[in-house]
Amino acid sequence: MSVLYGCDCQFRYVKQQNGENPKGENAMSIQTQINKFHGVILQNLPEIPEDIMQRWIENPRSLQQFLSGLVPSVNSSATEFKVFKPLKLRAGMDAKSYRANIKGRKVDGQRMDIGDYANDILGKPEFTVVTEETEIDLVNVSVKELTGKNKAPLKEVFAQAMARGLQLCPNQVGPELRLQYEDQPEGEWLIIGMEPITDSDGYLKLFHVERHGDVLWLYAHYDFPDSPWHGSYRLVFVLPRK
């Protein structure tokens, strides 16, 4: 049996960088923010099994440790990541022009191609391109590097990436990375960390680029946000420029 009870949680705010506790109106503002945060938590709590609730009631420290693991470190920073590849997002492109540029393109004895699923989501309205040429920096990071786990759901991977200062890729990164990543090593496949696009069968998909034999592929990967992803899976995110 799973039940949900209301709870009265108390959260401590972090001291200001100068080491002083806020006073007066500033303290009241922070307390208001804390109260609002309490309300948001209560509204979004999942159902909690009775045995787990009782364990936390009897051992509040275990609850504190659990909650601490959910809060990103205030020192987390995108500066810990190295640029994998600068990428130029071109304006004026669309699904038709990407298909024409990728399919059959010859690169040092290899060729480029587009898988059926990638071709499908490339033509969906959710696929968008920039209106002005833009250059971004990409990082290439594994599920384990982001979460510290051998398996983790995609929603946790994305949350950890955002908490550490990375950003989701525009979905245009998929076909552009395929075109510009001509020297991709054999057997490597990289999933684009992006908002998923719904395919013609109603499934959520993410672009991914892969080299298999002499073919440099633009593929699409199923996005199951709650299913465990292996720690070795590698994703591409945007590293913001300063």
Question: For residue range 160-203, what is the model confidence (pLDDT) as tens digits?
Answer: 999 999 999 999 999 999 999 999 999 999 999 999 999 999 99
Task: Name the token pair of 15.
Answer: 């001291």
Delimit the domains of the chain by residue range: 83-239
Listing DSSP states for 196-210 in one string gives: -EE-TTS-EEEEEEE
Per DSSP bridges, beta strands 106-107 and 110-114 are antiparallel
Task: Name the token pair of 63.
Answer: 């609850």
Burial (CB < 10 A; 0-12, 13-18, 19+), residue 118, is: buried
Encode pLDDT of 77-100 as tens digits.
555 889 999 999 999 999 999 999
**Cβ contacts of residue 210 below 8 Å, gap of 6+?**
184, 188, 189, 190, 216, 217, 219
Q: How far apart are CA 82 and CA 79, in angstroms?
A: 7
| Phi and psi at residue 15, to the nearest 5° | -60, 155
Q: pTM of the predicted model, to two decimals?
A: 0.69
